[in-house]
Amino acid sequence: MHRRSLLLLGLLGASAPLLGAGQDPVESVMWDYFHQRILAGQPFVHDPRVVLEAPPFAEDSRQVPIQVDARAYAGQVVKIMAWAELNPIPQIFIFQPGERVAPLLAIRIRVEQATPIRAAVLTRDGLWHIGSTRVDAAGGGCTAPSVVRAQAGWEDRLGQVHGGRFPQGEGNRLRMRIDHPMDNGLVGGIPEFFLNQAELRDAGGQVLASLELFPAVSENPTISLELQGGGEARLWLRDNNGNEFEASF
């Protein structure tokens, strides 16, 4: 009996980090605010199995690569949200992967200053699993003038999708770059003009994954996904002005 009790206590102790919220790994004073604002105060746990990768220092604050990997919860993920806490426009994306799309997404973002970055993964049991990291930056990535708008003929390239489909394990890696200024409304005289919706669809039009984007995403955004199985995949996009774009892979 004594040995069984010790074994039970050992099992409970091993799983303890997933039973409570735990200590914030980046010790941000903004966490409680965003827990209420974005997650509506719902149950959460700081979880190292949600792997959020970003460079420790942003060499170009207008183009900061991040990757969220929640494959530890494959088959259980309802949606993934990401935000940069100290950005003037914090939210980055809301990603809903389907059965054939892995809960993994890589994208480039803007950062205005050194900031904690969060990825929140909602699993089917109603618990949010939080991955965290911190990026140092010289700053100004959200309020810098657009590079795209300074290029001649950018309007003619609007919505063009560049990329490909590359074998990876039992599936494929989709890597895409879309020509779009992704204006966030923070540069004088230029209103918001950004891609805000994306869907990955199969040849029959069935939605394989959906993605809501926010102006924190960098101009000429890059997106990488993992798709299981063969067959044609189509990327559908729409911006906040109602323009629609499509590309097949």
pLDDT per residue as tens digits for the range 179-216: 999 999 999 889 999 999 999 999 999 999 999 999 99
Task: List pLDDT tens digits, range 141-151.
Answer: 999 989 999 99
Which two structure tokens, joined as six digits, stand for 103? 């809960």
> Is 179:153 a contact under the CB 8 Å cutoff?
no
pLDDT value, residue 131: 98
Placement of tokens 């995949």 in the chain: 233
Residues β-bridged to residue 237: 198, 245
Under the banding of pLDDT at 50, 70 and 90, the label for residue 6 is: very low
CB-CB contact of 161 with 137 (8 Å): no
Q: What is the CATH number of domain 21-248?
A: 2.60.40.2470
Angle at 35 between CA 40 and CA 68, to 5 degrees: 110
Q: How far apart are CA 228 and CA 91, in angstroms?
A: 28
Mean per-residue pLDDT for 78-105? Answer: 97
What pLDDT band is residue 99 in, cutting at 50, 70 and 90?
A: very high
This model's pTM is above 0.75 = yes
Of the candidates 135, 46, 27, the residue with the CA atom closest to the CA atom of residue 84: 135
What are the domain boundaries of the chain?
21-248
Instruction: Sort strands 64-69 and 171-178 into parallel, antiparallel or unpaired.
Output: unpaired
Per-residue pLDDT at 17 exceeds 70:
no
